[in-house]
Structure 1
Amino acid sequence: MAHASGALKHTLDYVKSRKAFGQELSRFQHIRFELAELATKIQVTQSFIDDLIPRHMQGEELTREVSMAKYWASDVEFEVCDRCLQLFGGYGYMSEYPISRYFLDARVQRIYGGTNEIMKELIARQLGI
């Protein structure tokens, strides 16, 4: 979630400095709501992961929960980076802007360590289906 948090921080800095229609982007309610939603998704996902760590350290069987965390966290990471990139407009697609790299790096996380489809298959098996 550090990657998603970095993209969000970078975007927060951008919307505080970029102006449109005579005011900072951060003054627009839609943008504030968008960033508030992303911050919430990051925090909720991090809390889920943080809950799993001590349970894993105690030797608890967590195949289902870890599979859930992997696919969910990488989906949230991609969503955060995608929606942050949108707030940059055309700049988001230029390699000179770090947000474009955040976006590219987030996409591959859904593949590393087992694709999200494989994670969902593991979850389904753990559910007995």
Structure 2
Amino acid sequence: MGTHSKPNSARNVLKRAGAAAAIAGALAGGISLGTGTADAFPGQAGLIRCESGGNPAAVNNTPAGQAAGRPAGLFQIVTGTWLAYGGGQFAPTADRATPGQQQIVADRIYAARGAAPWECKPGS
């Protein structure tokens, strides 16, 4: 006799609900980094929702995205901008960095350039 048990659908539903709640919490209240920079610029939850749908591993691989410089991560930061604002200390591209590291780089970009680099605007 095998030791495998049949899948527990209630457990799977709870896991999915927990993941959805975690994403919703990050979008609603900023990203908890443990460094005090969560929701560091006004309206960023709306910007994240618009840019990536809250997916920290999102990559815009469309022809337009590739032409723009491969927007990636929660904030859809193009690789050149990611590296210019110190993202290379964390990962080669935003989608390979943690949400907290993405937040740090986005804060640097916002401090230097405001919302200009983003197609979506804070609060949208």
**TM-score between both structures, scaled by the size of structure 2:** 0.28
Greater relative contact order structure (CA < 8 Å, 6+ sep): 1
Answer 1 or 2: which has greater helix percent. Answer: 1
